[in-house]
Structure 1
C-alpha cells in the first residue's frame, strides 16, 4: 500500500489508476468523476507496477445545523475485478479512514448498491436525514442521493446520528 498526494503521482500512476477506475466501473467513470478524485490523498495497491486497488480522500465543506464542517470525502474506490474479495478494498478503506479520523470533522461518501456492503461492514452509517447541495442558485435538495449518502463519525466531529439536512458544497458533475 502506498499513500500519495495527487501532486506526487507520476503520469504512469495517474494513467494506471484511471484505467483501473474505467475497468472497475465498467466504463461508467467519467472525466468529472476523475476530477473529483484528485487534489487529496490517494491509497494505492499495485501488483507488478499495475494498480489493483485505489481510494482517495479529498476535502470538502458540508453544512449541517447552521455550521460548516471540514469533511474528508471518499472518492474513486475501486478494486480490479480479478482481485475482488481478497481484502484489497478493506485495506484502501482502512487507510482512508485513518486519514479521515485524524484530519477531518466528519467523513462522507456516496455509494452504489454494489459498494454498500463494504461500507456498512466498516461502520459507515447511511445518512438518516435528507441531502442537498449549496448550488449556484442556492440550497437545492438532492433526493436521488438520500439513500446513497453514508457518513463516518470521527472523534470530536459532527453529531452524525441525528436526522436533518446535510448540505454538500457545489462541484461539476455528481455533487455527491
Structure 2
C-alpha cells in the first residue's frame, strides 16, 4: 500500500530530501542532479508516494514515487497561460510495472486540481507519452516548446508537450515558451 503526501518544498526535511535524491538518482541514472532532490528549477510542491502506509508524512519513510510541481506562466503565442509545470515524475525502477505510476498520475490530478490553475503542463519523451495519456494528459495544440537548459542555453523542444485539463478552458494554440528552467 502506497501512502501519498503533497508536501510544500520548505516543509521537506533534510532526511526527506536525501531519500528523494536517492529515488531520483535511480529513476534518472543519466541525469546528474548533483546529489539534490531537484534538477533545474526547484519545485514549490512535491507529491510523494511512500511505503510507510501511514496517513502522515514520515522522515524515515522510503519514497517509491515522486512528482514535482511549480506554478508559473508559460507564453503561448502572445498569451500568458498559468500552468502547474510538472516534472521529475518517477517511480522507483524496482517498483515499476505494478500500477504505482497510474496511482501517481491519479493523485497528481487531484493535487494539481487544488492549485487553482487551468492546466497541468509537462514535456516528455515520445516513449512516455502513452503513459501520460492514460492519466488524462493531452498533447498541446502546438508541439514546439522553448525552454532554458541548466547550462543557460535555449532549447527548442519538439518532443511531446502535454497538458492536463483542470478547468473548462482549452489549452491555446501557439508556440510555447517556458521562461525559466524546467522542473
TM (norm. structure 1) is 0.80
Describe how 1:5-154 pairs up with structure 2 within 5 A: 5-31=8-34, 34-36=38-40, 38-48=42-52, 49-102=61-114, 103-133=116-146, 142-143=155-156, 145-154=157-166
Q: Alpha carbon RMSD of aligned pairs, Å?
A: 2.6
CA distance in 2, matches of 1:70, 1:163: 14
1:165 aligned to which of 169, 172, 175: 175
- CA 1:88 to 1:34, structure 2 compared with 1: closer, same or farther past 3 Å? same
C-alpha deviation, 1:163, in angstroms: 3.7
Kindly provide the CA deviation profile for residues 14-34 of structure 1, in whole angstroms up to 9, marking residues without a partner as x.
Answer: 111111011011242434981
- CA 1:128 to 1:142, structure 2 compared with 1: closer, same or farther past 3 Å? farther
- CA 1:78 to 1:24, structure 2 compared with 1: closer, same or farther past 3 Å? same
TM (norm. structure 2) is 0.77
Q: Which runs of 5+ in 2 are unaligned?
A: 53-60
SS in structure 2 of the partner of residue 100 of structure 1: helix
How many residues end up aligned between the 2 structures? 166
Bigger proportion of residues as helix: 1
